[in-house]
C-alpha cells in the first residue's frame, strides 16, 4: 500500500515543473511603498542567477518567466542577452509577459481603450512580444490586462468587449503553430468598478473568439470571495480550455501570498482535478504551472523555495488519491466515505517521500536549509545592496 | 428638455411588462420557519386573483409565472383550469417553472445526479413542463437547478457537467420553434460546496451546448459579493445570450428582498445596459422581466406592488440617460462629466411623471394607496385565514 | 522528539470534550425543503440515545446541548424526563438553548422587538430556560437571536440596542453564581438587512453590559467572508470574554457543514490560539466546545462521528506546535521559519496517535468503522422510519 | 411641505463642514504605478492653494487635513510655514495624520512591532504629531495603522494587542484637554493575513483602553463585503464613541473611489443615523467629516469638488426624512410604509435647493462649472507640470 503511494508520488514529482517569475526576485510592494531587500535582483542577470539557484536546489524549475518591459526593455534586440544568461545560469526563458498597464498612455486602458491609436500601441507591443517569444523558442504568451474603469457610466463596457475581440484576433494571427496565447482574468485591481476580463467566462469567450491556440490562464488569487476555483478548473478541463496557472494565495483580494499559505486544502483540490482528469481521460492537458507572487515581507529567495516545496507537497498529496475507489463512492453518493477517501490523501504526510525523491535526484533533502547554508544570500546582499537602496517610493 | 424626458419615460413605461411569480403570493420563509400571513394565496385561483389585482392597479403585469409542482400538480391535465383562471382574472400564464429540487429523490441532484434513473425523472418532468407550456402557449421554460454538492470530493464535478449537457440537449429538442429555454445560475444554496450551474459562464456554455433557443436567465440575487452584474448583462447582450431576469435584491446571499431595496443604483445600471443596447443597435433583445422574491416579513401584495412601482421608476430613470452625450464623453474619457451625465438621470425625480403616465392609462396614481383603500386585503384575510394557519413548520 | 509529540497529543485529547447538539440528530434542511432520513431522531429519547452512541464510540462527548422549545416543550416540568434519559444513555445535559425565533409572535424580533409585550414573552422564556438549567445543573445558557430587519429604515437600530441591553441585564440577574450567559453573534440570516447582534464587537459590548457572567459565543460559520476568526478568538482571550464555540464550517454563508470540511487550516489556527494562550498564561480559559451543524445530506450519525474525530485530529495537531521556538521566531520576525515551525504541526499525521489514544481508553480505533459494524443505524431505521416520513415541508 | 423641506436642507447645509485631505491633491496610484497629472499638487503650498480653491467654490471645506511625514517633514519646525499658507489661502489646518507605515523600519509593524525600539520610534513620531497639532490648534489626531502580518503563525496576535494598548495610553497622555485621538480600523491591506486594528470592535476597545478622549474613526471603505456600516455608526453613536469619518466609496476592497459613486443609498443611510440621533437625543455628536480618497484616474480637483457636492446632496436628502412619522411606523412594524417614508427623502431631487443655498451664500450655483471656467487648472498645469513628471514608479 505505502509502496504504491510512494511510487505515485515519485512519478508525480518527476512531471511537475514550476516556472519562476523574473519579477518575483525584484523588490515589489503595495501602493503604500516597498520594503527594500538588499539582496533582491535588480538586473536581468540577477534574476537568472536567482532562478538558477532555486532550480539547482529544487530540481523543479527549469524555466523563468520574463516580463518584456522590465527584462527586455530593448525588445527583440535584448534576445541575445537572454540567451547568454539562460546558458550561463542553466535556466531557460519560459512564458513571455507583455506589459500594457504601466505606461502613462494606458491610463484609460490598453486593448480596451476607446482611442484606436493607443490600442495600436498595445497591439504592437504584444506582437513584438510574440516575436521575442519566437526568437527565444518560448511557447506561451501570458496576457494580463489591467483594463477597466473606476466609475459607473464612464466607459462603454460593450464597446470594450468588441475591441478586445478584434485585438486578440490580430495577436493570435501572429503566433507560430506551436505557440499559445494565455488569457488571464481578474475581478478587480487596479480597475475598481469594472475590469474588462473579470472572470473565467469572459476569458474563455475571448480565447475562443481569438483562435484555437488561445487558452485561459487561472491565477489562483483572481477570484471572488468563496468562488470555487477547482470547479472552474473542471469546466476548463472539460472544454479543453485551460492553459495554465499563476500560483499564489490570498485571503482578501489579490494578495499575492505564497501558494497554499492561507488555504492549502484548496490547492490540493485544484491539483486533484488535474490528476483526476488525466487518470480518467489519459489526456494530459498541457498546463503551465507558473508562480506569480509578490513577496513584500518574506525574503525573496526563501519565499520562492518555500513555494516550490509547498507546490510539490500538495501535488504529491493529490497524486495519491485513490481514483478508482473515489469514483465508485461518488457514484453511490456515499458522502462521508467519499470525503474521507479524498481527505485521506490530504492528511498523509508526504514529506519523508519528498526527501527521498530529492535524494534520488541528487538534490538536497531540505532545499531551504541548503540555501541558508550556501552563503548565496550573503553574497548577493553584499553585491547588490547599493543598487537596491537607491530608490524609495512614497504613496503620495 | 423636460418634455423630451417626459416623452422618453412615457414610451419606456409603455413597453415595460413585469411577470409576477405565483409563489410570491404564497407563504414562504427561511429554514428557520415561516411567518404566516392570513391573506396569503393558497390555491392556484388565489394566485391568479392576487396577480390580477396587482395588474389592475399597475397596468404592467399581464402575466403570471407558474410553478408546475405547486400550481399544476396534475400536470397537463391541470391546463384547463389554468386557462379558466387566466380568463377569469385577466392575467395570462407566463414562464413555466419545473421543480426538480424538492422531491426526496433529488437529494443528490436532479439533472446532475450520478444515478441515470433519477436523471430520467428530471428530464421527464421538464419535458412535461415543455408540453404544458405548449398547451398554454407560453414562450419560456425557466430552469433553475439546485444541483451540486456540499463537500469536497463527494461528487465528480466534471461528470456532472457532461450530464447537464446531455439532458439539456434532450429538453431543447422538445421545444417548439417559438419556445425558449432560460437557464439560471446561482453560486450557492442549497448546495454549499459546489453548485453545478454556479455562474453566468457555466449557464452560457450549457445554453450554447443545448441549442439555439436556450438563453441565460439572470437572477439579480445570484452573484458573488461585489460582482458587477451590469457587466455580465453587457456580455450577454453582446453575445445575444440574455433571456431574461429574475428581479430581487440582496445584501448578503440570495436574500430575495424586493428589487432595489438595498442597492437601487445597481438596478439603474442594469437597465441602462439594456436601454443603451437598444439605442445603439436598434435590436431590442427579447428580455423577460420576472419577479422572483420571497417576502417573509412584508405583506405579500404590498411587496409586489412596491416591486412593480420601483422597477418602473428605475426603468424610467434609465430611459432618460442622454446616450449621445454619454457616448461622446466615454470616447474622450471625460470621467467626471460622463459620470455626472449618467447620474443626472438617476437623481431625476421621475415620480410625478409616473403618476401622469398612470393617469393617462386610467390607472390609480398611487397603486399602493389604491390597494390599501380597496378592501381587497381584508376580504382575502377573512376568506383565506383558516386555510393558511393550519400548517406550521419547524427548523428541527 | 516524537515521544514528546505523542505525549502532548495524548494529554490534549484527554482534555477535549465536545458537546453534541440534540437538534443535530433530527431532520433539518434548507428553506427549499428537508431530505428526510428514516433513522433521524424524533423524540428527546432518540436524541439521548444517538448522542450516547457517539459518546460511547469516541469517548469525547459526555454532554448534549438541549433546545428548550424542541426538547422540553413542557418547560421545567420536562426536567425529570431529561434526567431519566441522561441516566439511561450515559450522557448529561449540556448547554441550554432558548428559542425566541420560531414562534409567530417573533416575526419582527424578540428581545429587540419594538413591542414591549413581545419582549416580555422572550424574557420570560429565557428566564425559564435559566431555571431549567439550574434544575439540570447546567452551566451555560446559549443565546442566539435571529432579531434584525430586512429593509433599510424599517426599524430603529439604536432603539433595539437599548432593548437588548435592558433585557440581557434582566436575564443575567436570574443566573446563579456558577452559570454563564453565552451571547452568539451572526452577520445575517434570517434577517437580511441588519441583524441586531451581528459581530463579535456587538456581542462583547452586550455581554459586558449584561454582567460579569456573560461571555461571547463564537460560531465558526458566523463571519463575513475573509474575516480572521482566530484573531477574534485572540481578542476575546485577551479580554477574557470567550465563552465557547459552535463548531461547523462554511464556504459561503452559515452553511452549517461539518467542522474542517472546507478549511481545516483555519480550525487548526483557532485551536492554536487557545493552546498558545494556555501555554503562555497558564490560564486555561473556560471554553465550551459545542457542535452546531445541520446535516442536510450526510447521514446524521456518521456526520457527528466524523466531526468529533476531525476536531480531535485538528486539536491534536495544534497541541504539538513548538510554542517556545515559535515565540522566539515571532520576536525576530523570521517569517519563513516561523511559518514552517507552525505548519510543521499541521502537516504532521496525528491519526496513528489518535488510534493509540483510543486503544488506551478502551475505545474503538476507528469509531466510524465501529459504528457501521454496530448495526445501530439499521435498528434505528426500522424503529423510527414511520415516524420520520410523515412530515414533508415545501418551500411555497 | 416643500417649504419645510427647503428649510431643513438649508439648515443642514449650513452645518456640514467637510475636511479635505492634503494628499488628495497629490499624485497617487496603485501598486502597479501612478498616472501622473501635471496639475497635481507637489508642495505643501500647492495643497493649500488647491484646497482653498475647493473651499472658495463650495463654501463647505474650511479645513485641510495634514500628513506630517509628507507635509511637515521638518516636524514642529514646519509649523510656521503651515500657518503662513493657512492665512494666505484661507483654509485652516484640520486633523493631523502621523505616518508610521512608510519608513523601512516599519516593515514588520510600528506600534505592534515586536521590537521595542521600533515601537518607541512610532510613539515618538506620534507624540510629536500631537505637539504639532497643539501648535496649530488642531483638535484631532487621526491614527491609521498598517500593522499586521501576512502569514499565519508569523506573529503573536495577542502580544500585539498588548503593545497597542500600552502605546495608545502613552499617546493619549500627551493630549491637551480639547484634543482627540481618532482610531481608524481596516480589515486588510497592506497586511494580508491579519491587521492589528481590523474592525470597529477592536478600534473601540483600544480607544476605551487609551482614555476618554479617544474615539473611533470610520473609513467608509474599510469594511468586509456586505457589512452594514450604518449599523456600526448606530452602535458608535449609542456608545458615544464615534469620532469621525473618512469619506470614500468602494466596490471590492479599499478602492478609495469618490463618495457615493458606487452605492449612494448607503451614504444616505449613514447620514440618516446621524441626523436621527441628533433629532432624538438633541445631542449633536462631534463628528469630523473628512475625505480620504485616492483619485488615480479622475482629475484631482474635479474629483474633490464632485465629492463635496455629492456629500452635500446626500446629507441634504437625509435631512428631510420625516423622523416623527418614521419612528411611529417603525414602532408598529409597518414595513412597507416605513421604507417608503424613508426612501421618499432619498428620491427627492435636492439639487435645485442646493443651487439656491449656494446662491444665498454668494457661491457659484454649479461649483464644477465655475471651476472649469476659472482657468485654475490650466494655470496649475503650466506651473507644476515640470515638477510632476520627473518621477515615475514601477511595480517591479
Is the distance from CB of B153 to CB of A339 less than 8 angstroms?
Answer: yes
Per-residue pLDDT tens over the stretch B296-354? 899 999 999 999 999 999 999 999 999 999 999 999 999 999 999 999 999 999 999 99
When pLDDT is cut at 50, 70 and 90, the band that residue A283 belongs to is confident
- DSSP, collapsed to helix, strand or coil, labels residue D341 as helix
Q: Cβ of B252 and C30 within 8 Å? A: no
Cβ under 8 Å to A: D residues 330-389: none
Q: Can you tell me the mean pLDDT for A261-266? A: 98
Q: Can you tell me the mean pLDDT for D313-321? A: 98
Q: If residue C351 lies in a helix (H) or strand (E), which one and from where to where?
A: helix C351-360
> Which residues lie closer than 8 Å to B369 by C-beta, 6 or more apart?
none
Check if A36 contacts B (Cβ < 8 Å): no
What's the pLDDT at D212?
98
Question: Chain D residues with CB inside 8 Å of A28's CB?
Answer: 31, 395-396
Q: Can you tell me the mean pLDDT for A119-127? A: 98
**Looking at C2-6, C306-310, D165-169, which range is the least confident one?**
C2-6
User: Among partner residues D252, D298, D368, which is closest to B335 by beta-carbon distance?
Assistant: D298
* C114, C152, C345, best to mutate vs chain D, most D CBs in 10 Å: C152
* DSSP-assigned letter for residue B258: P
In angstroms, the CA A383 to CA C94 distance is: 65
What's the pLDDT at B285?
75
What's the pLDDT at C108?
97
In angstroms, the CA D302 to CA B205 distance is: 43
In angstroms, the CA A200 to CA A39 distance is: 37
Question: Chain B residues with CB inside 8 Å of A229's CB?
Answer: none
Q: Cβ of A235 and B343 within 8 Å? A: no
What's the pLDDT at B390?
67
Question: Chain B residues with CB inside 8 Å of A185's CB?
Answer: none
Write the CA distances from C7 to C1, C11, C13, C353, integer angstroms: 10, 6, 10, 9
> For residue C392, is pLDDT > 70?
no
Please name every residue paired with A244 in a beta bridge, in sequence order, or none if there are none: A217, A288
What's the pLDDT at C295?
87
Q: Cβ of A101 and D250 within 8 Å? A: no
What's the pLDDT at B1?
47
How many contacts (CB atoms, under 8 Å) link A and C? 52
Q: How does the average pLDDT of chain B come out, rounded?
A: 96
What's the pLDDT at C273?
98
What's the pLDDT at B391?
63
Q: Can you tell me the mean pLDDT for D52-80? A: 97
User: Among partner residues B23, B225, B251, which is closest to C192 by beta-carbon distance?
Assistant: B251
The percentage of chain C sitting over the pLDDT mark of 70, rounded to a whole number, equals 98
What's the pLDDT at D173?
98
Q: Structural domain boundaries of chain B?
A: 2-388
User: Among partner residues B153, B326, B331, which is closest to A338 by beta-carbon distance?
Assistant: B153
Q: Cβ of B341 and A153 within 8 Å? A: yes
Question: Chain C residues with CB inside 8 Å of D265's CB?
Answer: 152
Residues D3, D5, D10, D16, Cα dihedral to 10°? 170
- SS3 string, chain A, reads CHHHHHHHHHHHHHHCCEEEEHHHHCCCCECCECCCCCCCCCCHHHHHHHHHHHHHHHCCCCEEEEEHHHHCCCHHHHHHHHHHHHHHHCCEEEEEECCCCCCHHHHHCCCCCCCHHHHHHHHHHHHHHHHHHHHHCCCEEEECCCCEECCCCCCCHHHHHHHHHHHHHHHHHCCCCCCEEEEECCCCCCCCCEECCCCHHHHHHHHHHHCCCEEEEEECCCCCCCCCHHHHHHHHHHCCCEEEEEECECCCCCCCECCCCCCHHHHHHHHHHHHHHHHHHCCCCCCEEEECCCCCCCCHHHHHHHHHHHHHHHHHHHHCCCHHHHHHHHHCCCHHHHHHHHHHHHHCCCHHHHHHHHHHCCCCCCHHHHHHHHCHHHHHHHHHHHHHCCCCCCCC
Q: Cβ of C335 and D238 within 8 Å? A: no
Task: Please tell me which residue of chain D has the smallest CA distance to A24.
Answer: D396
End-to-end CA distance of chain B: 60
In angstroms, the CA C194 to CA A161 distance is: 38
What's the pLDDT at B393?
63
> For residue D89, is pLDDT > 50?
yes
> For residue C1, is pLDDT > 60?
no
Check if D235 contacts A (Cβ < 8 Å): no
Q: Cβ of C152 and D199 within 8 Å? A: no
Q: Cβ of D151 and A107 within 8 Å? A: no
* CA atoms lying within 13 Å on the CB side of residue D367: 28
To the nearest 5 percent, what fractions of chain C are helix, strand and coil? Answer: 50, 10, 35
Is the distance from CB of C114 to CB of C159 less than 8 angstroms?
Answer: yes
> For residue A32, is pLDDT > 80?
yes
> For residue C192, is pLDDT > 80?
yes
Q: Cβ of B158 and A277 within 8 Å? A: yes
**Looking at A116-120, A130-134, B383-387, C47-51, which range is the least confident one?**
B383-387
What's the pLDDT at A2?
63
Query: Closest Cα of chain C to B262: distance in Å?
Result: 7
Phi, psi (rounded to 5 degrees) for B144: -115, 130
Check if B35 contacts D (Cβ < 8 Å): no
When pLDDT is cut at 50, 70 and 90, the band that residue A388 belongs to is confident
Phi, psi (rounded to 5 degrees) for A142: -95, 120
What's the pLDDT at D390?
67
Question: Chain C residues with CB inside 8 Å of B252's CB?
Answer: 187-189, 192, 253
Per-residue pLDDT tens over the stretch B97-146? 999 999 999 999 999 999 999 999 999 999 999 999 999 999 999 999 99
When pLDDT is cut at 50, 70 and 90, the band that residue A1 belongs to is very low
Query: Closest Cα of chain D to B299: distance in Å?
Result: 8
Q: Cβ of C114 and D339 within 8 Å? A: no
Per-residue pLDDT tens over the stretch D337-392? 999 999 999 999 999 999 999 999 999 999 999 999 999 999 999 999 998 876 65
Per-residue pLDDT tens over the stretch A330-358? 999 999 999 999 999 999 999 999 999 99
Per-residue pLDDT tens over the stretch B48-95? 999 999 999 999 999 999 999 999 999 999 999 999 999 999 999 999
Q: Cβ of D28 and A187 within 8 Å? A: no
When pLDDT is cut at 50, 70 and 90, the band that residue D1 belongs to is very low
Q: Can you tell me the mean pLDDT for A366-382? A: 97
What's the pLDDT at C157?
98
> Which residues lie closer than 8 Å to C34 by C-beta, 6 or more apart?
C27, C28, C296, C392, C393
Question: Chain B residues with CB inside 8 Å of D265's CB?
Answer: 262-265
Domain A2-388 CATH (choose: 3.40.50.720, 3.20.20.150, 3.40.605.10, 3.40.50.10330): 3.20.20.150
> For residue B2, is pLDDT > 80?
no
Is the distance from CB of D137 to CB of D181 less than 8 angstroms?
Answer: no
Check if C108 contacts B (Cβ < 8 Å): yes
Per-residue pLDDT tens over the stretch B152-165? 999 999 999 999 99
Query: Closest Cα of chain C to B194: distance in Å?
Result: 9
Per-residue pLDDT tens over the stretch C57-113? 999 999 999 999 999 999 999 999 999 999 999 999 999 999 999 999 999 999 999
Q: Cβ of B158 and A198 within 8 Å? A: no
Is the distance from CB of B61 to CB of B25 less than 8 angstroms?
Answer: no
User: Among partner residues B263, B348, B368, which is closest to D265 by beta-carbon distance?
Assistant: B263
Write the CA distances from A134 to A77, A79, C24, integer angstroms: 13, 10, 62
Cβ under 8 Å to B: A residues 271-290: 272-273, 276-277, 280
Any alpha helices (H) in chain D, and if so which ranges? 2-15, 44-58, 68-71, 79-89, 116-135, 157-173, 200-210, 229-238, 264-281, 300-319, 323-331, 335-347, 351-360, 367-374, 376-388
When pLDDT is cut at 50, 70 and 90, the band that residue A390 belongs to is low
Write the CA distances from B389 to B34, B49, B385, C395, integer angstroms: 11, 20, 6, 16
Amino acid at each position: 500500500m505505502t509502496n504504491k503511494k510512494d511510487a505515485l508520488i515519485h512519478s508525480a514529482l518527476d512531471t511537475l515543473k514550476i516556472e519562476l517569475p523574473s519579477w518575483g526576485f525584484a523588490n515589489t510592494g503595495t501602493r503604500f511603498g516597498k520594503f527594500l531587500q538588499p539582496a533582491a535582483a535588480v538586473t536581468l542577470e540577477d534574476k537568472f542567477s536567482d532562478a538558477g539557484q532555486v532550480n539547482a536546489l529544487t530540481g523543479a524549475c527549469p524555466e523563468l518567466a520574463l516580463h518584456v518591459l522590465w527584462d527586455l526593455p530593448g525588445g527583440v534586440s535584448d534576445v541575445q542577452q537572454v540567451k547568454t544568461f539562460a546558458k550561463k545560469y542553466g535556466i531557460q526563458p519560459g512564458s513571455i509577459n507583455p506589459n500594457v498597464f504601466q505606461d502613462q498612455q494606458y491610463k484609460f486602458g490598453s486593448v480596451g481603450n476607446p482611442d484606436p491609436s493607443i490600442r495600436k500601441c498595445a497591439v504592437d507591443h504584444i506582437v513584438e512580444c510574440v516575436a521575442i517569444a519566437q526568437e527565444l523558442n518560448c511557447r506561451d504568451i501570458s496576457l494580463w490586462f489591467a483594463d477597466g474603469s473606476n466609475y459607473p457610466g464612464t466607459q462603454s463596457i460593450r464597446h470594450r468587449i468588441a475591441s478586445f475581440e478584434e485585438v486578440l484576433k490580430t495577436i493570435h494571427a501572429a503566433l507560430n503553430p506551436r505557440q499559445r496565447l494565455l488569457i488571464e482574468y481578474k475581478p478587480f485591481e487596479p480597475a475598481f468598478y469594472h475590469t474588462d476580463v473579470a472572470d473565467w467566462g469572459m476569458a474563455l469567450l475571448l480565447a475562443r473568439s481569438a483562435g484555437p491556440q488561445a487558452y485561459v490562464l487561472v491565477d489562483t488569487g483572481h477570484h471572488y470571495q468563496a468562488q470555487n476555483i477547482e470547479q472552474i478548473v473542471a469546466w476548463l478541463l472539460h472544454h479543453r480550455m485551460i492553459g495554465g496557472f499563476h500560483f499564489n494565495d490570498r485571503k482578501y483580494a489579490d494578495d499575492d501570498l505564497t501558494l497554499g499559505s492561507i488555504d492549502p486544502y484548496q490547492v490540493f483540490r485544484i491539483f486533484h482535478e488535474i490528476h483526476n482528469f488525466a487518470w480518467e481521460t489519459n489526456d494530459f492537458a498541457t498546463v503551465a504551472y507558473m508562480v506569480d507572487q509578490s513577496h513584500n515581507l518574506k525574503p525573496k529567495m526563501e519565499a520562492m523555495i518555500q513555494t516550490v516545496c509547498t507546490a510539490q507537497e500538495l501535488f504529491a498529496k493529490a497524486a495519491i488519491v485513490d481514483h478508482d475507489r473515489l469514483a465508485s463512492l461518488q457514484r453511490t453518493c456515499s458522502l462521508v466515505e467519499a470525503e474521507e477517501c479524498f481527505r485521506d490523501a490530504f492528511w498523509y504526510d508526504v514529506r519523508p517521500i519528498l526527501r527521498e525523491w530529492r535524494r534520488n535526484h541528487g538534490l538536497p533533502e531540505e532545499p531551504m536549509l541548503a540555501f541558508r547554508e550556501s552563503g548565496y544570500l550573503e553574497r548577493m546582499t553584499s553585491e547588490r545592496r547599493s543598487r537596491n537602496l537607491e530608490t524609495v517610493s512614497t504613496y503620495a
